[in-house]
Structure 1
Amino acid sequence: MLCLYWCMVGPLYWELLESDETFNSDVYCRHMDNVQAVLDQMEANGEWEGPVKLLQDNAKPHRSRRSTHHVKEMLGWEVLDHPPYSPDVAPSDYHIFLSLKNFMRGRQFKNRDQVEASLREYFEFKEPEFYARGIRKLPKRWLTVHYNRGEYLIS
């Protein structure tokens, strides 16, 4: 499983979980700490100016009491509402993973290292404008889902 956390300038942190690893609240909180470390470094370099507004889906590890406390209270991030069952408003789903799927099409991997190398290549190849474009689409998509009462978008 690929876990990816990104913003308008590109990936902040990503990790390919081991095949036997379960994505749970502990993993999620660890990932959020890694994202915060990257943001701290970016802020020190003058490349980031908060605040953090986090859009996450409604998966149990994201919404657990532990994860919610960690993100809101420990890290001080604002969590944006995500309509239930709405991948249409998940920028990773409608923007990055579709592009990544096309990038990976036809490739065959013999081991995990090859998969990770291809992921690094993909993320390094994309310009910041690619990521910014995905985020800029979000408000219109969110409103469309809201006005359609959660129905999926067709486009």
Structure 2
Amino acid sequence: MKIRTSNPNTHTAAAFTLIEIVITLTIIAILASGSIYLLKGQIDSAKDTRVDSDLQAIGLALQSYESRALRMPTTEQGLMALVEKPTQEPIPENYRAFMEELPKDPWGLPYKYRFPAQKSKKPYDVWTAGPNGIDGDEDDLGNWKKTAAK
């Protein structure tokens, strides 16, 4: 029986061929693009959910303001009345701030407020102009419609 001995001068090279690398990168690119496409829908859904929670928080703060001041802030006083004491009449006697700061919508714009309401069944309207930033179109998201239904 003959025993094989390895020759220390012989080296075998193990490497990927160019075609294997190109195929692997193509597969990774296809998977990544599919993931990004699926994530876009999740991001939009997350923004709608955030609008819902912001509207609820503002609504609770407005109810608290009303119970303390015995009236809602006027349209001119706006949502800032929840953060700092209004300087325009009617100024509440028992003022207290109900929010540390006003939230901005997911697109970085302030929420809008109107009293009395024109669209909502509540006494006030609170809304955002939505992703396009244009007020008064079908992209508006407010307390008169649920964003989840969008």
TM-score (norm 2): 0.24
Q: Larger helix proportion, structure 1 or 2?
A: 1
Higher relative contact order, structure no. (Cα contacts within 8 Å, ≥ 6 residues apart): 1
Question: Which of the pair has more CA radius of gyration?
Answer: 2
TM-score (norm 1): 0.24
Q: Larger strand proportion, structure 1 or 2?
A: 1
